């Protein structure tokens, strides 16, 4: 683990700037998918990435080694959302078959289910693990948000919502956020049953919430909505800092966005298949890339790295092209 930490510190020693972001392009692409990638997740302390695809596969990648280590099929249940637990060989995923909405804890080592989590009665559209504890949260079109412990099959708590929910833990697991209907409700993880301790407005945007996320330091949060809006807020005061606009997404798609590791930039997909990047400080778009896709990419920034990944009909890793950067050409 020590070596891994040193590597991460070296990776981020080249600070992410607008110039570096503008130079980024696809450096590595995996094209062997037979369906769209619906979800992906980087492990926080290893170089692994996991993807879920409409071809009913879960794939594990070693990003540092530029290799797909394993592909597991989930033909019976399908797969929609996927995320790592603290163990890089164990993932949690939701179904996509329309008849069994259980969540599943899967060992990638031996392709065995470790636990089933039954409780939802419609498609799960939001899934967030608390990285510091063994708990996670799920939101469903059945208009419930359920709180779980990985060690127990029954849910630990239930919250009812009035709309499609997006839910997320902050990095410390101290608070979680639930977004729907134009508002983000903030809950204390230890006493959520008392209701939200704060409610933040996102300026009258009442279109369906797609994804809510916290920055790594917990100071910022973002919310994406079906109408193509990406709202960035101060997570302590609830102040709406910026709203970025992209093409709206269809009801079957999800607009996803991701903070860069230090929280200075946001990258996102768009309903027309483009990829965009904004400066949080200025609120201005700093980069935009045309892709061959016509639907929104899922998008995640790699922890502690100058790299992000996009998923569509293929998996792409975006890295800086240092040859474009006059300030850095002489360093290598």
| Main-chain dihedrals φ then ψ at residue 6, nearest 5 degrees | -65, -40
User: How much is the pLDDT for 10?
Assistant: 44
Q: How are beta strands 82-84 and 90-94 bridged, if at all?
A: antiparallel
Global pTM value: 0.91
Give the integer Cα–Cα distance in Å for 173 and 133: 7
293, pLDDT greater than 60? yes
User: How much is the pLDDT for 6?
Assistant: 45
Contact 125, 113 (CB under 8 A): no
Third-level CATH fold of 18-34+123-330: Methylamine Dehydrogenase; Chain H (2.130.10)
25-34, 64-73, 93-102, 266-275: least confident range: 93-102
Mean pLDDT of 245-266: 94
Contact 140, 120 (CB under 8 A): yes
What are the extents of the domains in the chain?
18-34+123-330
Mean pLDDT of 279-288: 96
The larger pLDDT score, comparing residue 221 to residue 130, is at 221
User: How much is the pLDDT for 131?
Assistant: 76
User: How much is the pLDDT for 170?
Assistant: 93
What tens digit of pLDDT does each residue of 30-65 get? 998 999 999 999 999 899 999 999 999 999 999 999
Give the integer Cα–Cα distance in Å for 209 and 178: 9
What tens digit of pLDDT does each residue of 158-181 get? 999 999 999 999 988 899 999 999
Give the integer Cα–Cα distance in Å for 78 and 95: 5
Mean pLDDT of 194-222: 95
Mean pLDDT of 75-86: 90
Per-residue pLDDT band for 24 (boundaries 50, 70, 90) equals: very high
What is the maximal distance between C-alpha atoms in the chain?
Answer: 59
Give the integer Cα–Cα distance in Å for 287 and 290: 10
Instruction: Spell out the residues 6+ positions from residue 3 whose beta carbon is closer than 8 angstroms to its own.
Output: none
User: How much is the pLDDT for 8?
Assistant: 45
User: How much is the pLDDT for 2?
Assistant: 39
* 193, burial (CB in 10 Å: exposed 0-12, middle 13-18, buried 19+): exposed
Give the integer Cα–Cα distance in Å for 64 and 304: 13
Per-residue pLDDT band for 1 (boundaries 50, 70, 90) equals: very low
């Amino acid at each position: 683990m020590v070596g891994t930490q040193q590597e991460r510190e070296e990776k981020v020693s080249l600070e992410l700037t607008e110039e570096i972001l503008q130079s980024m392009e696809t450096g590595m692409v995996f094209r062997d998918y037979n369906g769209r990638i619906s979800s992906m997740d980087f492990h926080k302390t290893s170089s692994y990435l996991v993807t879920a695809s409409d071809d009913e596969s879960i794939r594990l990648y070693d990003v540092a080694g530029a290799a797909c280590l394993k592909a597991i099929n989930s033909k019976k249940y399908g797969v929609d959302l996927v995320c790592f637990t603290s163990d890089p060989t164990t993932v949690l995923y939701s179904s996509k078959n329309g008849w069994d909405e259980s969540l599943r804890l899967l060992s990638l080592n031996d392709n065995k289910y470790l636990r089933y989590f039954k409780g939802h009665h419609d498609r799960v559209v939001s899934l967030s693990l608390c990285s510091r504890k063994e708990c996670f949260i799920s939101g469903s079109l059945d208009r419930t948000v359920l709180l779980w412990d990985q060690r127990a099959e029954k849910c630990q708590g239930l919250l009812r919502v009035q709309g499609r929910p997006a839910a997320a833990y902050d990095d410390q697991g101290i608070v979680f956020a639930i977004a729907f209907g134009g508002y983000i409700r903030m809950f204390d993880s230890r006493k959520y049953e008392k209701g939200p301790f704060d409610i933040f407005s996102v300026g009258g945007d009442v279109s369906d919430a797609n994804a809510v996320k916290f920055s790594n330091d917990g100071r910022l949060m973002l919310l994406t909505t079906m109408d193509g809006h990406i709202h960035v807020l101060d997570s302590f005061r609830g102040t709406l800092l910026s709203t970025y606009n992209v093409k709206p997404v269809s009801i079957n798609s999800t607009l996803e966005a991701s903070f860069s590791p230090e929280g200075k930039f946001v990258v996102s997909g768009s309903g027309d298949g483009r990829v965009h990047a904004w400066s949080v400080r200025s609120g201005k778009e700093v980069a935009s890339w045309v892709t061959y896709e016509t639907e929104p990419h899922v998008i995640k920034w790699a922890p502690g790295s100058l790299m992000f990944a996009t998923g569509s009909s293929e998996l792409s890793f975006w890295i800086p092209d240092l040859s474009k950067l006059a300030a850095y050409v002489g360093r290598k």
